[in-house]
Chains A and B, each alone.
Chain A
């Protein structure tokens, strides 16, 4: 890790203001992504991974707001930039694709025009040039017959094709960072694999870093070089993705890895139950004291119930936030 990281988040805190009081929906979030790197953020619903992404692109809306910390993009602090400057970053240098390719495209506008608009908006191209570039962009995401497809409306495309179009739009301006928020959840498994492959190849070709957000640890570990696991608004473990599978340190990560079905294992054949993590994620307004995972943790001791663990750096690289980590 040398040079200026592409994006560096330090001690980010995201507040939820419910009118009478402010609670931290996420806190102590720190990570860095280098140029061209792939980084995964994994966690259950409501653990704060999506709002972390929104904070990065400056789109937190009431009742959420950034309560503290620093976000540096390419060495420059961006959390206090004016709305117009943040808008220049969005789509141009930081792009994002969403979970729902069904709804993320404007239904009344041909897909080619939607891609072309990015070139007009961020690169100052004329519509004529932009339309030409849109055909090329569609071709680059391997949509067959792109010169005809540019005139199609989103409803004429399948889910996989729409997600390809989304990727084409997101990568149109050659962003430095692509945030993918559950990019394949709404797709068939076979299409999923194609889309992930496509996204990974395109980003590798262009040196675009990926921040992938998902609840699917297997998928993220497959795509990303490093993975951070979030639980209840905190990053509990951050490791290389091979390490996290081989030797998870945090009890929560251990639970996640143990709960993955494995092909050919007895659990997958239905003869025994998959391992699960007992209990549910606490609500944002009632996070437990100490380690937030302690009510569900099998290894919890007294210190876990009173003192929040700090981040320990592991010798093999990465960090873990647990009093008893292996």
Chain B
């Protein structure tokens, strides 16, 4: 039953984050960018300003709600790109072996040797700041773990009886990879994927914190943290709420990853029923 709790809490947190992002225009009290009013600057949390206001009098609650859009878009899209690249390279390398495996391995080692945030910074420097370049930068720099896991799974699955049976039964390479290998490695890939989403949310925060993410004044959780660091002692709510949003989203994604792994494993599925 503990396994179920993972899935429910994680799924609920992630679903909540998505819901908030989608419904932002209805949930927000004010416009996150335009409704600046210096008369309300640095109000602490209250019934009027749930999460307080910043030094320009903008409602933090509304900005956090809108910030979910950026963080989740970056988390989901960039991790999807990573997963597709990682699985395609790792699966084919593990299954085919030979020179292709060597090439993929070399590439993976290069990716692992360069800190991904630095690599993403370099890409951002070329592409310039903005949401699209953020997606590209994070989507191209974090596939090495997925690739490693896909390759290792493919290597061990390749010698499984059912994969050989599929060969004997006349399956083509691509069909074997998609119907025999992929479903059997999906568990760890999904887990890594949700963890990766969490770390992409963090990377977005880091890049935005460094000023390379979404362009101000549009809010993202990372840029809000960045703006708030000068006032962390005088107006802690400025950093607490975006921080909390990041924390809950990443926590939710991690719990969701655990829970998904449990239902993707058919053996544990029947244990429960």
> Which A positions have Cβ atoms within 8 angstroms of B?
57, 59, 84, 87-92, 95-96, 98, 100, 102-109, 117-118, 121-122, 153, 155-156, 166, 169-170
Nearest CB in chain A to that of B187: its residue: A108
Identify which of residues 171-187 in chain B touch chain A, using a CB-to-CB cut-off of 8 Å.
171-172, 175, 179-180, 183-184, 186
Chain B 157-178 against A: per-residue CB contact (8 Å), 1 yes, 0 no?
0001110111111111001000
Nearest CB in chain B to that of A88: its residue: B170
Q: How far is the CA of A155 from the CA of B266 in the complex (A)?
A: 9
Is the pair A90, B266 in contact by a Cβ cutoff of 8 Å?
A: no
Beyond A98-B161, A103-B160, A155-B266, whether A90 also contacts B183 by CB under 8 A is no
> Which B positions have Cβ atoms within 8 angstroms of A?
160-162, 164-172, 175, 179-180, 183-184, 186, 266-267, 270
Is the pair A103, B167 in contact by a Cβ cutoff of 8 Å?
A: no
List the A side residues contacting B172 at CB < 8 Å.
84, 87
List the A side residues contacting B169 at CB < 8 Å.
90-91, 95-96, 118, 121, 169-170
**4 pairs of A and B residues whose beta carbons are closest in the complex:** A91-B170, A103-B161, A91-B169, A90-B170
Is the pair B161, A107 in contact by a Cβ cutoff of 8 Å?
A: no
Is the pair A117, B170 in contact by a Cβ cutoff of 8 Å?
A: no
Jot down 9 A-B pairs with beta carbons below 8 A, ordered by A: A89-B170, A91-B169, A96-B169, A104-B161, A106-B162, A106-B179, A155-B267, A169-B165, A170-B169
List the A side residues contacting B168 at CB < 8 Å.
57, 59, 90-91, 95-96, 98
Q: How far is the CA of A92 from the CA of B169 in the complex (A)?
A: 7
List the B side residues contacting A121 at CB < 8 Å.
169-171, 175
Report which of A87, A92, A96, A107 forms a contact with B266, defined as CB distance below 8 A. A107
Report which of A95, A100, A104, A109 forms a contact with B183, defined as CB distance below 8 A. A109
Q: How far is the CA of A96 from the CA of B165 in the complex (A)?
A: 8
Beyond A57-B168, A122-B170, whether A106 also contacts B183 by CB under 8 A is yes
Distance in Å from the Cβ of B234 to the closest Cβ of chain A?
55
Distance in Å from the Cβ of A171 to the closest Cβ of chain B?
11
Instruction: Identify the interface centre among B160, B162, B179, B183: most chain A CB within 10 Å of its CB.
Output: B162
Q: How far is the CA of A118 from the CA of B166 in the complex (A)?
A: 10
List the B side residues contacting A153 at CB < 8 Å.
266, 270
Q: How far is the CA of A122 from the CA of B170 in the complex (A)?
A: 8
Nearest CB in chain A to that of B163: its residue: A106
List the B side residues contacting A96 at CB < 8 Å.
165, 168-169
Is the pair B162, A92 in contact by a Cβ cutoff of 8 Å?
A: no
Is the pair B170, A108 in contact by a Cβ cutoff of 8 Å?
A: no
Report which of A89, A108, A169 forms a contact with B184, defined as CB distance below 8 A. A108
Report which of B165, B170, B186 forms a contact with A104, defined as CB distance below 8 A. B165
Nearest CB in chain B to that of A84: its residue: B172
A-B contacts counted at CB < 8 A amount to 72
Q: How far is the CA of A169 from the CA of B171 in the complex (A)?
A: 13
Nearest CB in chain A to that of B265: its residue: A108
Is the pair B270, A156 in contact by a Cβ cutoff of 8 Å?
A: yes
Nearest CB in chain A to that of B264: its residue: A108
List the B side residues contacting A59 at CB < 8 Å.
167-168
Is the pair B175, A100 in contact by a Cβ cutoff of 8 Å?
A: no
List the A side residues contacting B183 at CB < 8 Å.
106, 108-109
Q: How far is the CA of A95 from the CA of B167 in the complex (A)?
A: 11
List the B side residues contacting A91 at CB < 8 Å.
168-171
Distance in Å from the Cβ of A267 to the closest Cβ of chain B?
36
Nearest CB in chain B to that of A100: its residue: B161
Is the pair B270, A155 in contact by a Cβ cutoff of 8 Å?
A: yes
Beyond A87-B172, A170-B169, whether A117 also contacts B266 by CB under 8 A is no
Distance in Å from the Cβ of B144 to the closest Cβ of chain A?
25
List the B side residues contacting A87 at CB < 8 Å.
170-172
Q: How far is the CA of A103 from the CA of B161 in the complex (A)?
A: 5
Q: How far is the CA of A67 from the CA of B267 in the complex (A)?
A: 44
Instruction: Identify the interface centre among B164, B175, B183: most chain A CB within 10 Å of its CB.
Output: B164
Distance in Å from the Cβ of A293 to the closest Cβ of chain B?
31
Beyond A100-B161, A103-B161, A156-B270, whether A109 also contacts B179 by CB under 8 A is yes
Report which of B162, B186, B266, B267 forms a contact with A103, defined as CB distance below 8 A. B162
List the B side residues contacting A95 at CB < 8 Å.
168-169
Distance in Å from the Cβ of B213 to the closest Cβ of chain A?
39
Q: How far is the CA of A100 from the CA of B163 in the complex (A)?
A: 12
Q: How far is the CA of A91 from the CA of B167 in the complex (A)?
A: 9
Distance in Å from the Cβ of B239 to the closest Cβ of chain A?
44
Is the pair B175, A107 in contact by a Cβ cutoff of 8 Å?
A: no
Q: How far is the CA of A166 from the CA of B164 in the complex (A)?
A: 13
Q: How far is the CA of A92 from the CA of B168 in the complex (A)?
A: 10
Is the pair B161, A108 in contact by a Cβ cutoff of 8 Å?
A: no
Distance in Å from the Cβ of A182 to the closest Cβ of chain B?
12
Report which of B170, B180, B186, B267 forms a contact with A106, defined as CB distance below 8 A. B180
Q: How far is the CA of A105 from the CA of B183 in the complex (A)?
A: 13
Is the pair B170, A98 in contact by a Cβ cutoff of 8 Å?
A: no
Is the pair B167, A108 in contact by a Cβ cutoff of 8 Å?
A: no
List the B side residues contacting A166 at CB < 8 Å.
165
Q: How far is the CA of A107 from the CA of B161 in the complex (A)?
A: 11
